[in-house]
Amino acid sequence: MKKNNFNSGAISPFFVIYGICFALMGISLLMNEYTENLLLSAISFFRTKPINREFWVDQIHLISQKLLLIGLLFMAYNQYVDALIRRLDWLTQKKYLLEIIAAILLLIIYLPPIFLGISSSISGERYWWLFDDGMISMRYGRNLADGFGLVWNPGEKVEGYSNFLWTVYMGLIHLLPLPASKTSLVILLTNVGLSLVAIPLLSHLVRLLGGGTITVILSLLGYVFNRNIFYWALSGAETSLLIFFILLSLCRILEDQKTNQVRISTFWCISAISLIRADSLLLSFLLYIYSIILGRNRTKILIWTAVSLLIPIFHELFRIYYYGDILPNTAYLKCLNWDGGYWAGIKYTFAFLSVYIVLIAIIFAAWAYLTPPSHRFILIGLLGYTLFVMYVGGDAFPDFRFFIPIIPLLLVLTFLGLNKLHLKFTSRFILGVLIFSTMPLVIWKYPISVPEKSVDVGNIKIGLLLKNNTPKECKVADIWAGSLFYFSERYAIDLLGKSDRFIARLPSVSPKALVGHNKFDFDYSLGTLHPDIVIANFKLPVDEEDMKRKSEDEYPFVGRMYFNKVFREHYLANPVLVQTWRTIFMCDCSKWIAQKSKWKELSDE
C-alpha cells in the first residue's frame, strides 16, 4: 500500500507568526474605516475613470475575509497537522473513502444553491434557469425535440450554439413530460451528477501519475471547493461534461500505456470531446498527441486515431450541409472582424493567471522534478491551450469558462510538483504553502456566487409576459437571447447576432466592447426585420448624458439603441407599462399595439 509521500517536520513558530500577521491584516481591513478609505483613494488614483465605490468596498471586504481565514488556518494548522499526517495512512486502507467524502462535500456545496438560489416562484409556480447563453442552447434543444430541427426559429438554419452534444442532450430532456419551468433543473442536476463521477476519475488520474494520499486529498479538495468550477456547473454550462471526458480520456491513455494495449474506446472518448464545445477540438488534438507520445504501439494508435476522427469529420460535414457554414455562427461573431480580439485575449488570460499564480509558480518551480514524460507533456498541453484561448479573444463572462476544463489538471500538477519538492523542505512548510495556494480557489460568498438572480428572474418574467399577452406570430427583438426567448416561445430576433448570420459577420462596433457584445446593427435588426416588440436594456426615464457615456463603454448597445433613428421614430414613444427591470417597447406599425394597455402582469410569491 502506498504511504503518505510527505515527511513530518518540526513545529515551526513561523506559522503562528504568519497566522497572526494575516489575521491582523484581515481585521484591519474589515474594522478600520481609515484603511478602507486609503485603499479606495489609491484605487481611484490609478484608474482613469471614477470608481464604483460600492463594488470596490465589497472587493476590499472580500480580501480581508480571505486574509483573516488564511491567518486562522495557519495557526490551526501548526497545532493539528501532526494528527492529520498520522491519520493519512489509515485513510489509504479504506477503499473509496476519500472519494466518498469528496462526493458528500460536493453535494453539500452544490445542492442548496440549486434548490434555493437558482429558482424563483412566479405566479405560484417555481422556475429554474441556466445562465443566459445556456438558455439559448435550451431553445435549440426544445426546437429539436418539437421536430423543427436544431434551429433558433423554425425554418431558419443558423448555428447559434457552440456546444453540439450538450444541445442535443438538452433536446432529449425536452422529450420528457416536464413543463418549461423544470427543464433547467434537470440540466443542473445532470451537472451535479457529472461532477460526482469526475471525482473517482480525478483520484485515479493522480495515482496513475504517481501521486500519493496527500496529493489525492488536496486535488479532490481543490476540485470540490473550486469556485470557478462551481460557478459554471451551477450555470448549466457544458463544462462539467468536458471535465468528465478529459479526465476519462487521460486515465485511459495512461492505463493503455501501463498495460501496453490500445483500446478503440479510448479514442472514441477523445473524439467526443470535439463535439462538446467547438473550441474543444484543440483539446482533442492535444490528447491525440499525448497518446501518440506515450504509447508504445504507435502504428495501432495512429490507425485508431484516424478512425475516431471520423466523428468530428462527420460533424463538420453535417454543419456544412445543414447550416451552410464551415464554422459555428458564434465563431464568426466572436473571433472574426474584431481588431481588439488579441488584446482582450491577453487581458482574459492574465486575469486567469493572476488568480492561479501561486499554483503556476509551484508547477514551474518543480519543473526539473517532474521527470516522467506524462507530467511534462500535460503541462506543455496546458500551455498550448492557454495560448489558444488568448488568441481567440477569451470570454465576456466571469469565472474563466474557457479555462474550466484544465483547472483540475492544473491542481493535479501543482500537488504533484509539491510532492517532488518535499525533499528540499519539511512537510510543514509545504503544507503551509498548500494552505496559502488554495485560498484563491475556495468558494467565497457561498452560496450566492451563482448567476445574478434578479437579472434572470426579470428576463423570465418578461418572457412569460410576452407568452401570455401576445400571439404566436409576434416578432420580438432583444439583446438577451436566453431566458426571455426560451420562456416567451415567440419568433426571436437576436440583436447581438449569436443566431443572426448577418450580424455575426459585421466588424466590431467598438474596440472597448466585450466579445460577443460588440457587433450589432439596429438599422438592420429594427428597420429591416421589423420586430413588433423590442426589449431595451434600460428603464424609462433615462438620463441622456448617461446614455451617451454608455454608448462608448463595454456594452455600447445600451446607449446606441436609445439614440438609433429607427428606434426613436417607431418604438420609443410606445412603452408597455409593466413592472420590469427593463423597458418593453412596441412598434407603432404593429397590429397589436392597441392591446398593450391590457397586458396582465405576473406576480411573485
Low-confidence ranges of the chain (pLDDT < 50): 1-11, 423, 426, 435, 439-451, 605
Q: What is the pLDDT of residue 434?
A: 53
In a domain, 576, yes or no: yes
Q: What is the pLDDT of residue 443?
A: 44
Determine the Cα–Cα distance for residues 158 and 138; give it in Å rounded to an integer: 15
For 41, other C-beta atoms within 10 Å of its C-beta total: 10
In a domain, 539, yes or no: yes
Last residue of a domain, one of 93, 115, 139: 93
Q: What is the pTM of this model?
A: 0.84
Determine the Cα–Cα distance for residues 291 and 485; give it in Å rounded to an integer: 43
* Residue ranges making up the domain that contains 77: 1-93
Please report how many Cα atoms fall inside a 13 Å half-sphere around the Cα of residue 354, on the Cβ side. Answer: 7
In a domain, 336, yes or no: no
Rounded to the nearest 5°, which phi and psi values hold at 236?
85, 15
Q: What is the pLDDT of residue 585?
A: 93
Domain count of the fold of the chain: 2
Query: Judging by beta carbons within 10 Å of its beta carbon (0-12, 13-18, 19+), is residue 281 exposed, middle or buried?
Result: middle
Q: What is the pLDDT of residue 577?
A: 75
In a domain, 456, yes or no: yes
Last residue of a domain, one of 61, 93, 125: 93
Q: What is the pLDDT of residue 257?
A: 86
In a domain, 558, yes or no: yes
Determine the Cα–Cα distance for residues 274 and 242; give it in Å rounded to an integer: 9
User: Reduced to 3 states, what is the DSSP secondary structure of residue 238?
Assistant: coil
In a domain, 114, yes or no: no
Last residue of a domain, one of 72, 93, 114: 93
Of the candidates 212, 280, 218, 270, the residue with the CA atom closest to the CA atom of residue 245: 270
In a domain, 320, yes or no: no
Query: Judging by beta carbons within 10 Å of its beta carbon (0-12, 13-18, 19+), is residue 310 exposed, middle or buried?
Result: exposed
In a domain, 268, yes or no: no
Strands 491-494 and 533-536: unpaired
Of the candidates 73, 63, 116, 85, the residue with the CA atom closest to the CA atom of residue 10: 85
Residue-wise burial string across 203-225, b where 16 or more C-beta atoms lie within 10 A, e elsewhere? bbbbebbbbbbbbbbbbbbbbbb
